[in-house]
Amino acid sequence: MNRLRLAAALTLALAAASTAQAAELKRQAPPGPGIASAVVVPPGATTVYVSGMTPPAISAAGVTPPVYGDTKTQTMGVLKRIQDALKLEGMDMKDVVMMRVFLVADPATKAMDFAGMNAAYATYFGTPTQPNKPARITMQITQLVNPAFLVEIEAQAAKLP
């Protein structure tokens, strides 16, 4: 009988230990850029998938065609939109675990402005006030739904109860 109780107690202790280990997000985030190599989301986390967000116009309403700005400006607008979507679900940018960034070459330079996108991105991730880094992929594409858009970003966020 004592062996049975000991076995049951050991089983409960092991289960509690593995639950405690699994009860946190694990980020493999080397020093440097605000990008994680991998993020592990344990069972039980609430996950939010944010659709691809495009930039808001920076020109006054009714200006035709609307002005969206350069890649850095557009990225700032897109990240703010992602942040707003997450806030509706009780989350913030610290909860982002994965991002997919789609960049178009700037017509003015005929090149993808990775530095401009990364400068805006660095204001949200890997900072002293928000050190969490999501996994991320950045790719150049030929065009987005609106020819004036230079960036679109989709994100996934996860938060433990």
**What does the pLDDT look like over 107-142, one tens digit per residue?**
888 899 999 999 999 999 999 999 999 999 999 999
Residue 17: the pLDDT is: 41
**pLDDT of res. 14:** 40
In tens, the pLDDT along 22-32 reads: 578 888 877 77
Q: Report, as ranges of residue numbers, the positions in the chain whose pLDDT lies below 70.
A: 1-22
Q: Report the distance separating Cα 29 and Cα 115, nearest Å.
A: 20
pLDDT at 3: 53
The predicted structure's pLDDT at residue 2: 55
* 93 within 8 A of 79, measured Cβ to Cβ: yes
106 by DSSP, 3-state: which? strand
For the record, the structure tokens of 44 come out as: 């039980």
Instruction: State which H helix or E strand residue 51 sits in.
Output: strand 46-53
pLDDT for the residue 27: 87
**Domain locations in the chain as residue ranges:** 23-159
Identity of the amino acid at 156? Q
Judge contact between 105 and 140, C-beta under 8 A.
Answer: yes
Q: With residue 72 as reference, give the H or E element that holds it.
A: helix 71-87
Residue 77: predicted pLDDT:
98
**Does an H or E element contain 113, and which?**
none
Which parts of 78-150 are beta strand (E)?
96-104, 135-141
What is 23-159's CATH topology?
60s Ribosomal Protein L30; Chain: A; (3.30.1330)
Give the residue carrying structure tokens 């080397």.
30
* Cα 25 from Cα 133, distance rounded (Å): 11
The helix or strand, by DSSP H or E, that contains position 155, with its residue range, turns out to be strand 151-159
Q: How far apart are CA 128 and CA 135, in angstroms?
A: 18
